[in-house]
Amino acid sequence: MAVTIPSDAAPPPGRTSLAFPARRPGLTLAAAAGVLVVGTTLLVLLLDRKAPGILTGAVVEALAHPATAPLILKAGVLGWLAEGWGLGEPWLGLASISLSLFTIVAVFMGLFALTSIVERKVLARIQNRYGPNRAGLWGLLQPVADGIKMLTKEDIVPAGGDRWMHLLAPVMLAVPAFLVLALLPYGPGMTVVELGVGILFFFALGASAEVAVFMAGWSSNNKYSLLGAMRAIAQMISYEMPLLLAALAVVMLAGTLSPTLMVEAQAGHAFGFVPQWFVFTPWGLVGFVLFFIAALAESNRSPFDLPEGESELVAGHMTEYSGFRYAVFFLAEYIGLFGICGFAVALFLGGWHAPLPVLDFIPGYLWFFLKLYGLVLLAIWIRGTMPRVRIDQLLAFSWLFLIPTGFCVLAGAALWHFTGGGWLGWLVVTPVVTAPYFLLLPRLQSAEANALRTYRFSEE
């Protein structure tokens, strides 16, 4: 029974309301968008005077066909640099690389800021409360507030801990997370670094995360951190195997190690509307589920958030971190999650391909980010529901169930290849792929846990 004081009533005397919840949200949003659009057009026109016609032409053409808008814009800017500033070869190459890197980092930092507020809002709504809505419109400025808080908080290095290792650990975790973003196939021809061995690079960087987590745990000179670090290493090692196996199946079918070619292998639609994504094949579906579970474990997301299990290890290897370096850990975890979900999209969900041919007018990179964000929201939903798994169950689940399933998925992919797909493929591959689910999983749980408990009532 809440009585609502009309929002324009003056706040109670002597207490200025810190928050400035927008009086009319719609108007504020429209004003902000308007300022943004007008500002950019003015900027473009201003810059255009240096090399007339190139920039404006590129912008117009980009708006014309959005599918390859980023490429056109980049070409336009490079052309503008060459004409306007008369830059030579080394500088142009440098400019093109930095342009790509700048956009990728900007996009993913924006995504990180958005996710940190979306996660708290979705978790809040799951728990029937509002979530942060004080900083800015609907709480959208909360990431800015968090950032400022993290910057101003004191940055403590524990005495007795190993100072340099303590300072270096978050960097060692964040750098690989960002490097992985360079490999993701955002759109046709839009992969920042076109490596022939993209997947291998992804796994090589993933492997270095363990060393970073260990450095954090060991250098904090704190028993909780050490326990957290040991758990993190055990978890990451045992969940890298299923990740590898699921990816190998796709490598085998797509015949290449580069994610871009894998996405191209999933082009086209069968029977006019069913997309040829790997997830719509029996081995692909099980492989995707396997990949997603292992992805949750790799990025320490619930229900596998054991390293920083609040209830017992306070914050695991991040216990002794404060201030901005704690924020870097936070950042590394989210960017790592984006990286892995990005690969899941590239490997199984058909990268930039639209689910239905009729939807092709939406540009490829939008599809990629939509699917990526769908997986991130699924991870948040899981985090709001499931309790944490215990360390021995976590390891047993990986070694005794996920890895055998991984081998079956490999076998299933091979069978799919030889049976040429279609109904026969489904018939042959499905039992092979789901065998561990029916045979191994029930045995994994102790017989006692499977029994349905009966509760009697005392007679009197």
Residue with Cβ nearer another protein (56 or 208): 208
How crowded is the C-beta side of 344, counted as CA atoms within 13 Å?
Answer: 31
Among 66, 384, 404, 421, binds another protein (CB under 8 A): 384
Q: Is 324 in the site for another protein (CB under 8 A)?
A: no
Backbone torsions φ then ψ of 23, nearest 5 degrees:
-70, -50
Among 22, 197, 274, 370, binds another protein (CB under 8 A): 197
Residue with Cβ nearer another protein (176 or 412): 176
Cα radius of gyration (the chain): 25
List binders of another protein among 216-235 (CB under 8 A).
218, 223-224, 227, 230-231, 233
List binders of another protein among 149-168 (CB under 8 A).
162, 165
Residue 336 one-letter amino acid: G
Q: Is 365 in the site for another protein (CB under 8 A)?
A: no
How crowded is the C-beta side of 415, counted as CA atoms within 13 Å?
Answer: 21
List binders of another protein among 21-60 (CB under 8 A).
21
- Distance of closest approach, residue 67 Cβ to another protein, in angstroms: 29
Cα distance between residue 174 and residue 326, in whole Å: 11
- What is the per-residue binding string for another protein in 60-99, x denoting contact by CB under 8 A? ----------------------------------------
- Distance of closest approach, residue 30 Cβ to another protein, in angstroms: 23
Residue with tokens 């690989």: 176
Cα distance between residue 116 and residue 98, in whole Å: 26
Q: Distances from the Cα of 414 to the Cαs of 46, 252, 292, 364, 405, in angstroms? A: 58, 8, 21, 30, 14
- Distance of closest approach, residue 71 Cβ to another protein, in angstroms: 24
The structure tokens listed for 425 are: 């493929």
Cα distance between residue 274 and residue 446, in whole Å: 41
Q: Is 375 in the site for another protein (CB under 8 A)?
A: no
Among 87, 101, 211, 435, binds another protein (CB under 8 A): 211
Residue with Cβ nearer another protein (84 or 203): 203
H helix intervals, 191-222? 198-219
Stretch that binds another protein, among 4-12, 99-107, 349-357, 368-376 (CB under 8 A): 4-12
The structure tokens listed for 297 are: 């474990």
Residue with Cβ nearer another protein (233 or 331): 233
CB neighbourhood size of 197 (10 A):
13
Residue with Cβ nearer another protein (44 or 193): 193
CB neighbourhood size of 369 (10 A):
18
List binders of another protein among 431-460 (CB under 8 A).
437, 441-442, 445-460
Whole-angstrom distance between the N-terminal and C-terminal Cα of the chain? 43
Residue 211's contacts (CB-CB under 8 Å, 6 or more residues apart) are 172
Cα distance between residue 237 and residue 399, in whole Å: 11
- What is the per-residue binding string for another protein in 232-251, x denoting contact by CB under 8 A? -x---x--x-----------
Under DSSP, the state recorded for 459 is -
Cα distance between residue 176 and residue 339, in whole Å: 10
- What is the per-residue binding string for another protein in 131-150, x denoting contact by CB under 8 A? --xx----------------
Q: Is 314 in the site for another protein (CB under 8 A)?
A: yes
Residue with Cβ nearer another protein (418 or 455): 455
Among 130, 273, 399, 426, binds another protein (CB under 8 A): 130
Among 69, 177, 389, 433, binds another protein (CB under 8 A): 389
Among 67, 77, 122, 267, binds another protein (CB under 8 A): 122
Helix (H), strand (E) at residue 275:
strand 274-275
- Distance of closest approach, residue 185 Cβ to another protein, in angstroms: 17
**By rule CB under 8 A, what count of residues binds another protein?**
92
Q: Is 392 in the site for another protein (CB under 8 A)?
A: yes
Cα distance between residue 370 and residue 236, in whole Å: 27
The structure tokens listed for 286 are: 């099980």
- Distance of closest approach, residue 136 Cβ to another protein, in angstroms: 14
Residue with Cβ nearer another protein (228 or 275): 228
Under DSSP, the state recorded for 84 is I
Stretch that binds another protein, among 92-100, 109-117, 148-156, 252-260 (CB under 8 A): 252-260
Cα distance between residue 383 and residue 377, in whole Å: 10
Residues written for the chain: 460
The structure tokens listed for 294 are: 């292992």
List binders of another protein among 257-296 (CB under 8 A).
257
Residue with Cβ nearer another protein (49 or 456): 456
Among 108, 178, 201, 326, binds another protein (CB under 8 A): 201
